[in-house]
Structure 1
């Protein structure tokens, strides 16, 4: 029995994800696919477009066997910590043979070489990096040039694309955690990660999740998406449209204003991804009447990207503190495997994971207290709060009362 692990957001699930899932099984020869998926908040530092249980249904209906939730402290973190949280979870399950991810370059050798240099930081690399930084280059540009200088057979733009960067972080995590999972990459096809336009092909086509979200924000009908997503996903979108989604960062604007009104620059600096300088910049801005997006654009400077600011503000909103994250790192990153859903025919995989005893498996919230350490309970408490806040926003926006984390059962397909 072979099993391949995927790290995902499925925000929402589309034809590119379906291709990745099927190709991952084909090229690894895996019998099963286990997914680690971000919950109700994602790595860009914004709420998920659609709730985690609906996205779990999408994944299971399109070929996934098990779906586990990536804790919110990692799902909203930097690429490095996002990867460490997800890889640590897959590794501790004890049944995963491969980690398969998409990349722009599609060359696992290049990605491995780059990951090794960035993890080990040999003296030559550090020296060249400092020279490029002193010449006035930004850190990403200096890092790319230093990589190329140290290893001339690596393309200079390997660190210029988002999925390459994540793939490199996954490989670094495997090395750092001394994991036996074998990394495999699939070259992305068709739409660019940041593409804002839907594919114009009449038959089944691949558009970015960014383009799909943009069009659902602007259009009043779902019919134009029919060839962009698998049929089971389209049916779920139809069923839930304007009942539980779409959700955007602007829906959290008033909540963010309320939270920031209670903070000082000193208190803000305690949250993950909020430095003292960034905290002072946020508190210097008059937030009255600003939407979430308007505030991030006002805060933005050359020093901080919009994504970094989004993550910091989401951490403030969700009460995610740096000291807690430091505790999780010291304890080995992800502390439990929270099961969101599974295929009935693959339920034996859950029993295998439990039998391995490498990580507590949570299928019922009532069992958490007897399964988890205090550190694990703190991490889980953050997930619960994030989900309850997300559900409250859905209720305020659409009048739909979703079940809370204590009453919502595992999705079974």
Structure 2
């Protein structure tokens, strides 16, 4: 039994993701695809546009055999931390043979060359990096210059300009650092650019689809009888007909204004409450919060109107929008530097939280339970055997999910269901 591993957010699931699953199985000869997926919050430091179980169900209906949740401290971390956490989880499942990721360049050799360099960090690299940072360059630009200086004979540093290439390099770094036996492959990212805001024929970006779904949560349309229509969802789903698989379209229809769309500003009062209860010297305890950012948060707090506006207010040339997003999210969720440092120094994981699986793939779950280095959590009430650090990580995951679910239930007036009472998906 061959199993390919995939790392994803599916925010939301679309045709490009289905293509990724299909091609990953094809090029590796895998019988099954196991996915490590971000939970209710994603790597850009914002809440996912819809709950994790809805996104997991879409993946399972489109070819994934099983979906495991990436703990929130890694799902909302830097590209490096995200990759290390996800790769470690795939590796410790004990059943994954290969990893397939998308990239703009589809050039595994060049991506591997950069990854090797960044893992080794030779003296020339460190010297050039320090020089450019000292002269005011941003870290990404300084890193690219340092890579270019070290690869003059085969300068592929321009690959660091594209987001999927960067993430692919981080996956390769993580495999190397963790001495994993998993064999990497890459496939060309198909369709629109990662940040393309426009819909295309059939392979639009997740950004474009999210924008349309967000609009569906706020726009008001008038039906033929002159009455307000429920956000024109039928018109919007019509636009998405060629962008997402048919099974996903049905789920989008069934759960609209029941579980989604969710946006950053839905958490505005929660974040403000958290910030009002923090002192300047305590803010730097949280992941991605520098002293400079802590100072800016305290100086600008009286100008807080809503979550997204405050993020934009705080950003500078040195503090990117994504960095600010992540920092504020970590404050809101209570994700502290010392805790994450303890997790990463202790093999990253204490459990593998299974969100769902296909009934015709039960042998995959049995193999993970038999061969893996982590206990499989299918019911969170069974987690009493975890060590203290594992309990702390799980408590953080549960709190983050319950907070997200509370926002969903408040926004759409649906019944709240605690994370401990959520069942496992079986498709």
Q: TM-score, normalised by structure 1?
A: 0.96
What is the match of residue 100 of structure 2? 100
| Separation of aligned partners in 2, 1:364 and 1:133 | 47
How large is the Cα RMSD of the aligned pairs? 1.2
Shift of the alpha carbon at 1:134? Answer: 4.5
The CA deviation string for residues 26-70 of structure 1, in whole angstroms up to 9 with x for no partner, is 111111000000000110111110001101110000000010000
The corresponding residue for 2:151 is 151
Shift of 1:136: 4.4
User: Residue in 2 aligned with 1:401?
Assistant: 415
User: 1:302 matched to which residue of 2?
Assistant: 317
Asked if 2 retains the 8 angstrom alpha-carbon contact of 1:336 and 1:376, the reply is: yes
In the TM superposition, 1:63-102 aligns within 5 A as 63-102=63-102
Q: Which residue of 2 aligns with 1:113?
A: 113
In structure 2, how many angstroms separate the alpha carbons of the residues matched to 1:402 and 1:103?
39
Alignment of 1:178-193 (within 5 A): 178-193=179-194
Which of 320, 326, 348 matches 2:341?
326
- Determine the C-alpha separation between the residues in 1 that align with 2:28 and 2:127: 39
Instruction: Check the 8 A contact 2:95/2:372 in 1, yes or no.
Output: no
Aligned to 1:164: 165
Q: CA deviation at 1:357?
A: 4.4
C-alpha deviation, 1:353, in angstroms: 1.1
- Secondary structure at 1:23's aligned position in 2? helix
CA distance in 2, matches of 1:159, 1:293: 27
Q: Which residue of 1 aligns with 2:404?
A: 390
Residue 278 of structure 2: aligned partner: 263
Specify the alignment match of 1:62 in structure 2: 62
1:208-223 correspondence to structure 2 within 5 Å: 208-219=205-216, 220-221=232-233, 222-223=237-238
Out of 124-133 and 361-370, give the one that drifted further: 124-133
| 1:378 correspondence with 2:392 | yes
Aligned to 2:2: 2
Secondary structure in structure 1 of the residue aligned to 2:184:
strand
Which is worse superposed, 143-152 or 70-79?
143-152
Structure 1 match to 2:378: 363
Q: Which residue of 1 aligns with 2:204?
A: 207
- Alignment check: 8 A CA contact 1:110 1:154 kept: no
Residues 129/267 of structure 1: CA separation in 2 closer, same or farther (3 Å cut): closer
Aligned residue for 1:338, secondary structure, equals strand
Per-residue CA deviation, residues 169-222 of structure 1 (Å, 9 max, x unaligned), is: 0010011111010111111121000111111x2xxx101110001112224322
CA distance in 2, matches of 1:406, 1:129: 46
Mapped partners of 1:309, 1:76: distance in 2 = 12
Task: Classify 1:214/1:29 alpha carbon distance in 2 versus 1 (closer, same or farther; 3 Å).
Answer: same
String of CA shifts for 1:268-322, please: whole Å, max 9, x gaps.
1111111122111101113455111100111101111010100010011111111
Aligned to 1:211, the other structure's residue is in SS state helix
Cα pair 1:34 1:64 within 8 Å, conserved: yes
State the Cα distance separating 1:335 from its structure 2 match.
1.7
Query: Residue 60 of structure 2 aligns to a residue in which SS?
Result: helix
The runs of 5 or more residues in structure 2 that have no matched partner are 217-231
User: How many residue pairs end up in the alignment?
Assistant: 408
Q: Distance in 2 between matches of 1:286 and 1:356?
A: 50
- Deviation for aligned residue 1:148: 2.0
- The corresponding residue for 1:194 is 195
State the SS of the aligned residue for 2:419: coil
Shift of 1:130: 3.0
Q: Who is 1:142 aligned against?
A: 142
TM-score by length of 2: 0.93
Report which stretch shifted further, 103-112 or 124-133: 124-133
